[in-house]
Homo-oligomer: A and B are copies of this chain.
Amino acid sequence: MNKLLIVGTVAFDAIETPFGKTDKILGGAGTYIGLSASFFKLQQAIVSVVGEDFPQEYIDLLTERNIDITGLEVVKGGKTFFWSGRYHNDLNSRDTLDTQLNVLADFNPVVPEHFKDADVVLLGNLHPLTQSSVLDQMEKQPKLVVLDTMNFWMNCALAELKEVIKRVDVITVNDEEARQLTGEYSLVKAAAMIQQMGPKYVVIKKGEHGALLFHGKHAFFAPALPLEEVFDPTGAGDTFAGGFAGYITQSENISFENMKNAIIYGSNMASFCVEKFGTERMVNLTKEEVLERLHEFKALTQFDISLEEE
């Protein structure tokens, strides 16, 4: 089985949506990525850091999913990264209520020996120097490196971000971030500019409006599944990235054609994530449900216009 190496936060979240609120629950980009990737045939390891306050039951939850946690540092006496946010009524925007970096402030990722030859590396949203450090530790060039980032790093560590962007094959950003990174309003133009910065594949996440994949002159679009109810968007982008990277890792195929399938899988996984608070839906999800929903994605997008008859 192929190996997927993930670096990303493992954290506590407290979430408020129009539908309710949670106390501190399991969260973090690395958690969502790992849970999502666990639906594919692969070996995966997560590199992250938590404090001594992190419950064993959450660690068990990861290992039960066959997520290797050799690279999950537990800092004695330390406190786990905590984020708290409140979503607006349309669920498309949110206010951050609290961010406590805690052990994340001094995080030095250590890649486990047996994952220094990983086939696919997914650099979750973290400081660009942390992302670079993971790449520096690899003993062979991965077949594919995927990077997720956000506007925060564009504001406070742009030079470092541009350095790590040079080294990756795929970048995932949302539409506003693509515009901020390039100064281009048109997503087509922004994606072309980002490709000149390094990554030959650009994924632009548009939340409820789906995701676009750009490669050279080619574009592919994966819609979000229209849902009766979106309960909590937290982690949807990371779950998308985990589905994308998980499918690529499983299929051993980094062609553009296969990346189309991968972003459909990403969108599929994300459609579950938003149905419950936090990781709840991902934890109880079955492979059968994933497969069933793929049929819905096909029905939603596939058509049969004969181009010859015209």
Contacts and interface: CB of A to CB of B under 8 A. Distances in A.
A261 B303 contact: yes
The quantity of this chain's copies bound in the complex is 2
Nearest to A40: B310
Given A188-B228, A226-B187, A291-B310, A301 B209 contact: no
A228 B186 contact: yes
Contacts of A299: 218-220
A212 to B, nearest CB: 6
Interface of A: 89-90, 185-189, 206, 209-210, 212, 214, 218-221, 223, 226-230, 257, 260-261, 264-265, 287, 291, 294-295, 298-305, 307, 310
25 contacts: A186-B228, A186-B229, A188-B226, A188-B227, A188-B228, A206-B209, A209-B209, A210-B210, A210-B223, A214-B226, A218-B299, A219-B299, A220-B303, A221-B223, A221-B226, A221-B300, A221-B301, A223-B223, A257-B304, A260-B304, A261-B303, A261-B304, A264-B305, A265-B305, A295-B307
A291 B303 contact: no
A308 to B, nearest CB: 10
Contacts of A210: 209-210, 223
Contacts of A209: 206, 209-210
A189 B228 contact: yes
Nearest to A220: B300
A229 B186 CA distance: 6
A187 B225 CA distance: 11
A294 B305 contact: yes
Pairs A-B, 8 closest by C-beta atoms: A209-B209, A260-B303, A221-B223, A261-B305, A188-B228, A188-B226, A221-B300, A301-B301
